[in-house]
A and B are shown apart, each in its own frame.
Chain A
Amino acid sequence: MPYFEALGLGVAGVFSWPGILIPIAGTLLAMITSFLPGVGSTSLAALLLVLTINWDRESVLLLFGAITGGATFMGSITAILFNIPGGASSTPTLLDGYPLGKNGYARTAIACAATASAVGSILGVILLMVVLPLVRPFLLEFGPLERLLVGIWGLMTIISVPTGSPMKASLMAALGLVVAMFGVDPASGMPRWNFGSLSLSGGFGLVPVLVGVFTISELISWMRTVHLEKAIPNTAAPDDSTRKGIRSVFQHPGLVLRSSMIGSLVGMIPGVGGTVAGFVAYGQSVQTAKGDKTQFGKGDIRGLIAPEAAVDAKDGGSLLPALAFGLPGSEAGVMLLAVFAVHGIVPGLPMLQGQLQLTFLLVVALLFSNLLTSALGIAATPWLARLKNLRIDRLALPCMIVSILALLQLESRLLDVYTAIGFGLVGYFWRAHGWPRVPFVIAFVLGSLIETNLVLTSQLIEFGRIVPHERVASVVLFVMIFGSILWLRTKRTDSERSARAIGGDVVLGALTTLVAVVLALIAFNGGAAYSSYAKGLILLCVGLGMVIVGWNLTTLHRTDIALFHQPLRWASHLVPPSEQWVPITLMALLGIAIWITGVSMAIGLLASIWFFYRAKPTLFGRLRALAFGMLIGFGTFYFVNNVANLLLPDSMLASMLGI
């Protein structure tokens, strides 16, 4: 079928009546689900796959195109307003989006994110349409070596994100790579750092880690025993406006174009994913920015434009492996292939030739959804910005419970809840002491990509099937990585810090080093499952941890000799403020309570204690608090057993009592 005829049919299919209602409905559904932490568009797609089983294939493609496009932007709103990403791909938005909101520019930031998303998605789809006929040789060029290099490039750009200390950023990145290795060695298939747990054999899930490091750590800080907390200050800056946000995107056309290109191209590479696209775009925005760069990480609008444009531009690209080869290049691609299978659509060459109109129907539905989301986002900016006025101390507990139930809904694994709670607690301390969480998360995301492709590349080089310097794409990527390293060497400086922060860093550094040493001992006594890569990385963690401790001790000796001689006071620097003791203790106990009593009772107990603690000190107030807690416990029980029908293991108590 001729290219432009198919494009015309695709456009006509989306804008037909009543067909257009399908992408509108899909977009709205995706917007709502992606607004909830931990519930992504994949869960929605899985549900709709069943409900649309009897639909015709054109209608189904309209719906799934809209779901893929509609989910992306909304996750950015929670990132800007609450410092919680709605999904993994919204994580880069935290870096400058939240500081902008905090500085009184919530409307500007939301409008800017919506506009950048819209422009990014248009550019991404244009690029997708241009490369569609050339996609086969392009994707074949990206073998294990090239993917490995893309992963390393992503890592390099993220270490260049301003965080205050490149040494801490490097340690956090190395830790992220190590945590990504938990579970199983990809080459031998042997268990590695799984501590005898079958559940951990699959490693830590991405969503539980993200929910822990960003959502739960943030919610813990919201759960203060003092009242009247707001998400971000109620006072908007005088020049905060929707128009300013929109204008800012068009004031940086080069940045938008570059970021969209990066997003689209990175999205096309199977298995690399949209989160990487956003971070890589952010990194290049820092590296290529002209003028003042000191505001990156503190609320620079360029640091918001780049990831937003890239993440929406990647939507189109990420569908390409599924469309052109039947390969699930992303989570959206997995669900799309399931849709194809159920509705008898053959992906691959037929979608690029005889059924090209179906491809365009999907792509135009995706573009329509992206634009509709952004238009709604811009229109609703004033109201969305008002969400910052919500009482976050009251929101925290419901958000926490929804996050935990959403995690259980994913794969019915209690490990996911323990992971989220564990990383939530650790993330709280990282956040409180300025240890950058983003390098950790992006390294965790990239860890499996890097290791798997390193393993494959080294084997293929050994058998003479890859000659690195003969591959054009790999040479280009080598140059880009080298450029990033050079940039790092010349542009990075450590920032001034207080003696208190140094004391906290000494203790956190020592604890991190201790954990790394234990993991290193396991690795060096663990046999073939622990490759040289695994051993090397854990040793790097030990080394970086020791350097951080040593460096901070030296600085402390130089700047505050009195504190230097009182090691006990260093530890006191880690102690959280008194209004946070209760929520931190409750979160730590929640994990244990789930193990002993099961999810429903543990959540009921948590809610009861929290309400009880904050209730008015009257008998009625206390009784009402307990009643609320019990109600939440029963509600959770009903959800777990009757709505979600989760297959959870018996609690210790249930096993002992034989119930």
Chain B
Amino acid sequence: MNLSVPNIVILIVIGLLGVGTYALLTVRNLIKVVVALQIMVKAAMLALVLAGRLQGQENLGQSLALTVIVADTIVAVVGLALAVQVRRVVGTLDLSALTTLRR
């Protein structure tokens, strides 16, 4: 396997996805969950730009990446707002305390 640019980028993408997945599987702190989501979204962004480049449709890929940035920021905002409210109402950031809907 040669280390061409697309190969390096795809390795970053896969690596970020792996780190994010591992974090979502193990992390119990709500703010850390938002961090993990951010990491995974970065991977998606890079993948879109790369795909656009490989397909010869760079601008389409880039405009999609822009959309991803917007969505990703909103996810961070709403996720953090939720975390703050959960901390206020439930008193902890621990995920396992958030099972009240089940009752």
Is this pair of chains taken from one and the same complex?
no
